[in-house]
Structure 1
């Protein structure tokens, strides 16, 4: 009988159980939205940097251990806690095109040698500007900013675990939205968007659905696989803002030229307006087989309106 490589295995049937362990590195908004259904099913450990975070997470059924990705010595406390890992922690906000935090985590996990499967949430920004083209996971990476380059470096780092037999999966997520993650403040400020003939395509994923996709990746992804974790909406950025404005009875944002936008918007917002792509999420649907509760912008807005009316 041919042996199956460890990195190609899928999750064994019946794996889920309270004796199973998942370590969350970067237990922020996406992971916390997953905890209500995750914590009752498996034993969840979270890496935290302070007591305040630990108190809140313990109320959600999570076991906590203090460690810091900026402190390599502290990572010895977490590296052998669980065989399955969610790595959701972002790179540093500044610096060159490297992610030292992910590099330190990978080194610690490799030394401990216990990790069997790992899911990392990256960003679709690693593709750079694609001039509005449809983008599959096979498209060459072309990071257009130091921020995106740090994510490319993080992806490369976690792939080194795959060479040690760990089943690594990477979710390339676009803009994350949800009922409390909509650009309402921007609309109220009347921040402009680009004129239609200069506009760019943008992509999104509901925050709670992203957590479900990360669980699907742990359970079903083939080792070394990358997925565009995007919903089914295809909208230019200005049209997206118009859709949100209409849903909440707010004025639509003014349309300006790219030159006018440079004088009115932050460098961060302008950087998003310099890249246009439509993510192909077919592989995600075929292989992860996750039922998304809010698969497009209309479902997200309907859920948001219900939430605000409660």
Structure 2
């Protein structure tokens, strides 16, 4: 049975991803209240109710008990470290613990946590899926993984817990084009992308899926890994390495890892991205792509954008 039937939702982290996600959740049901919790005083997204509260405190922050009434349909977490506040990556597991405590206290049917495919931390171009071993070798990866384990543990208390691992988030207001046009990413490095609205659609989609024992992990990408050189060529029409080096504005994280990520498990549940390749998304952002080939024709010196990955994980199979 699905969960997205109109009950109240608490969304933590109404930023670039969370704010439009909250709007989409509110628009889906006229009877639903969507509370957006942030540590700073923010204006509520359209159709939502803003809540100034710190999720890392859990129910110890009285704002949650005052404003939100049980039972909840879902708690959705879209947090990231704040540069302005000087946060470390420790905010990930702290937010996950607080959200899990809130979900339990307020009787939430579902807990959805937006994580990152950076948790795989591969640098050799290898193919990964939800069954790939996670071996944290940095503070960031350890924090991401600890947060995920905390969310999945909430399933033991009867909450339908889901981790969505998003890759290379981009969309309106976050354009990876200039970075790749500048040739500032190693040409042979594999990149993976998630269009913002497709992640929001995936978040809503998993709220309709049945629970699984031990919680569920899904990769959420366009399922079309692309080498950075192919993107540079598409944007400039120039061979990889020929683009003039420009200043990297740091708006995307693609290129930090070198891995090919499969979203086959999420696709098997019926979700489909509206931007099935980064080239579709770049066009939507206004890039003409002079070097992009006709469908089915590879770029010179590069494989086709869609790279098949052998096999796919069992839906709901946790790492």
TM over 0.5: yes
List structure 1 segments (4+ residues) > 3 angstroms apart after TM superposition: 34-37, 78-81, 95-98, 184-188, 251-256, 271-274
1:201 counterpart = 2:190: yes
User: Which whole-Å deviations, capped at 9, do the CAs of 1:221-270 have from their partners, x for residues lacking one?
Assistant: 53311111010322112322433445xxxx787479xxxx9xx989x99x
1:30 counterpart = 2:17: yes
Given the alignment, which residue of 72, 94, 105 partners 1:100? 94
CA distance in 2, matches of 1:62, 1:100: 25
Q: In angstroms, what is the RMSD of aligned CA positions?
A: 3.2
The number of aligned residues is: 272
Q: Which runs of 5+ in 1 are unaligned?
A: 1-9
Give the Å deviation of 1:34: 3.4
CA 99–152 in structure 1, closer or farther in 2 if over 3 Å, else same? same
Counterpart of 1:159 in 2: which secondary structure?
helix
Give the TM-score taking structure 2 as reference length: 0.73
Select the structure that is richer in helix.
1
CA distance in 2, matches of 1:130, 1:186: 19
CA distance in 1, matches of 2:56, 2:263: 34
Give the Å deviation of 1:113: 4.8
CA distance in 2, matches of 1:108, 1:97: 16
Which segment is superposed worse, 117-126 or 22-31?
Answer: 22-31
Q: Which runs of 5+ in 2 are unaligned?
A: 289-319
CA 282–184 in structure 1, closer or farther in 2 if over 3 Å, else same? closer
CA 234–85 in structure 1, closer or farther in 2 if over 3 Å, else same? same
Given the alignment, which residue of 72, 75, 78 partners 1:88? 78
CA distance in 1, matches of 2:146, 2:242: 36
1:11 counterpart = 2:16: no
CA 138–118 in structure 1, closer or farther in 2 if over 3 Å, else same? same
Given the alignment, which residue of 244, 260, 285 partners 2:267? 285
Counterpart of 2:2 in 1: which secondary structure?
coil
Aligned twin of 1:47: 37
